[in-house]
Structure 1
Amino acid sequence: MMKKLFTNINNKDKSRALEGLIEHSTPSSDFFLLVVLSVLMATFGLLTDDTAVLIGSMLIAPLLYPILSLSMGIIMSDFSLVGRSFNTLLKTMILTVGTAAIITLFFTPNGAEYTHEILARTRPSLIVAAIGAVAGFAASFAMVKPKLSETLPGVAISVALIPPLAVVGIGLARLDVATVFSALSLFGANALGAIFTSMVVFSLMNFYVKRGLAQKVVHDEDAKLKEEDGA
């Protein structure tokens, strides 16, 4: 029964999932616009202690895709996809932290106390890593199953990658080294947990056989990016 969950997947679904994953993790202007909008919402939500706004920021954040494509590249031994995904992830982190820091400098007075939502993102633990692991498993599994793909927004909320990075920016703006490292540790625990379990899922689903398709899709998406930059 458990074996069928991972092996009873047709080639069409695998190809669709792989193409969608690479497309959504492409570092396009649309991707980074969503990142900026997400971190703006997250930072305002953190500064005002508004959970609803934070949830909204997680729903539009595309950060889960480069993490999953990084996992896919690792299990395929496709160093081009790994490098591409890591580069996108790094740029996203820098953009997120920088934007959050700027917002904090402009919208919060000196000496303002941290809100409950900010403090909640400065407590890394094994439970946080476990949450990231479960979310990574759920996201990678749902992505391949057409009937389950609509659950991905809920998974994005559970893994919550943008808020900890926004807290890193808030701590940086206030020159609070302890907050920066604590929030960064929480993000790392979440991300590593998601990467590990999604690698397990993609391996069990034998995505390695789609390496040729992955290289083709990456080539096509990068060509579109060059056209976009040249327009």
Structure 2
Amino acid sequence: MSARLVEVFVSDEHIARAEAIIQRHCRRYWQEAVPGPKEKFSCIVQKRYVERLFTELDQNFGGMPDFLAMVVEIEALSPRLDEITESRLPLVDGEKPPTKMEAFFTRERMSTNELYDDIEDSLRLRPNYLLTVILSAVIAALGMRSGQTAVVIGAMVIAPLLGPTMALALASTTGDKILGKRAITTLGVGIAAAFLITFLLGMFISVDPSVAELRNRTIVQPADIALALASGAAGVLAFTQGASLALVGVMIAVALVPPLSAAGLFFGSGQPVLGAQALFLLLTNLVCINVAGIFTFLVQGLPPKDWRMTGGIFALWMTVLLLFIGLVGGWIAFGPIMPR
């Protein structure tokens, strides 16, 4: 559904100002008294307008103790609230009209507040997170070792690295240092846990590098870079439109979990060269996902806090990606950098 129910609570002395703001962003709303010196506004808002409504509400009431705003997803609505040219809300003061591309991509995007809310739980370092990381890595490792593609896909559905990966791209786009630090910490702990468990697994089982599922994780080709870029872009598009986390997890995990598990197996079985090559694929994929993620977030109109910071971060990721592409080009032209 392309609409949201936004409930706004303000103190009595701010009712008129709140109603004026709500009228600029909402088509349907109603007002009711609540216990205490407060008033509640219930608003039906098209998804694309939630962002600007929250921005103006925060600017006017964000620091007030009695202010509260929440967003609830609507499963069905009658009569419908369709987005057509004739029904577009007028622009607010100082707002630039969206380009056709921005209007197209922002129509179904969730607001930044909703994105932050969805990511919040996945950034907490809890036993459940570590357990799912370990299980995902073990399942992927054993599936690759036996050449069972379906088992590897099953490991991706668990999607333990989805949250911190999406959060890192989101933090890079918005320039949120606190979110970025939390994402790096959670992602780093997850990667370390997956590598350690597969390293130990590799010490006790035989690992045949000629198995296609494992061998493919030691080779970086242009197609792998394209896959990782597509995975990052598709993952962000699905995530910002409220798609199933399992679906988004498969998109992201296809580029992260298998090479990470393969690296642990190779290092644990005494094959460090192949392990290093698998880690190189992991790093390449991680960079690609962030480049594609930042680009897709920006195309969808996600507002950066500081364009200079966002531009610098994006330029840094692009520089690393170009460096990796150069290494891959040299690998193809002159053979592997490291002997197999």
Structure 2 CA distance for aligned equivalents of residues 129 and 99 of structure 1: 27
Residue 211 of structure 2 is aligned to residue 115 of structure 1: yes
Identify the residue that residue 5 of structure 1 maps to in structure 2: 104
For 1:137, which of 233, 236, 251 is the aligned residue?
233
Mapping of residues 142-157 of structure 1, within 5 Å: 142-146=238-242, 151-156=247-252
Matches within 5 A, 1:8-27: 8-9=107-108, 13-27=111-125
1:91 is the counterpart of 2:186? no
Cα distance in 1 for residues equivalent to 2:206 and 2:245 = 39
State the Cα distance separating 1:161 from its structure 2 match.
Answer: 1.1
Q: 1:34: Cα distance to partner?
A: 0.8
- Of 244, 250, 270, the residue aligned with 1:175 is 270
Q: Distance in 1 between matches of 2:178 and 2:140?
A: 31
Specify the alignment match of 2:257 in structure 1. Answer: 162
Work out the percentage of aligned pairs sharing the same amino acid: 23
2:175 maps to: 77
Larger Rg: 2
Cα distance in structure 2, aligned partners of 1:204 and 1:39: 33
Q: 2:235, 2:249 within 8 Å by CA — same for their partners in 1? A: no
1:59 touches 1:156 (CA, 8 Å); kept in 2? Answer: no
1:174-198 Cα distance to aligned partner (Å, 9 max, x none): 2222111210111112111111111
| Cα shift readout 1:87-136 (whole Å, capped 9, x = no counterpart) | 11111111111100111212328xx5542211011011222111111111
Q: Does 1:199 align with 2:260?
A: no
Distance 1:149 1:61 in 2: 8
Which sections of structure 2, spanning at least 5 residues, go unmatched? 1-99, 307-340
- Tell me which of the two structures has the higher relative contact order, counting C-alpha pairs closer than 8 angstroms and 6 or more residues apart: 1
Q: Does 1:42 align with 2:140?
A: yes
TM-score by length of 1: 0.80
Distance in 1, Cα, partners of 2:166 & 2:209: 36
**Are 2:159 and 2:246, in contact at CA under 8 Å, matched by a contact in 1?**
no
- Give the structure 2 partner of residue 223 of structure 1: none
1:49 counterpart SS class: coil
Matched residues, number: 207
Q: Distance in 1 between matches of 2:200 and 2:244?
A: 38
Q: Which has the higher helix share?
A: 1
The match for 1:189 among 284, 304, 322 is 284
Alpha-carbon distance in structure 2 between the residues aligned to 1:206 and 1:23: 24
Say if 1:84 and 1:75 are closer, same or farther in 2 by CA, change over 3 A: same
State the Cα distance separating 1:168 from its structure 2 match.
Answer: 0.8
Q: Residues 181 and 7 (structure 1 numbering): CA distance in 2 closer, same or farther, change over 3 Å?
A: same
In angstroms, what is the RMSD of aligned CA positions? 2.4
- Structure 2 counterpart of 1:2, which letter? M
Q: Distance in 1 between matches of 2:245 and 2:145?
A: 32
TM-score scaled by length of structure 2: 0.56
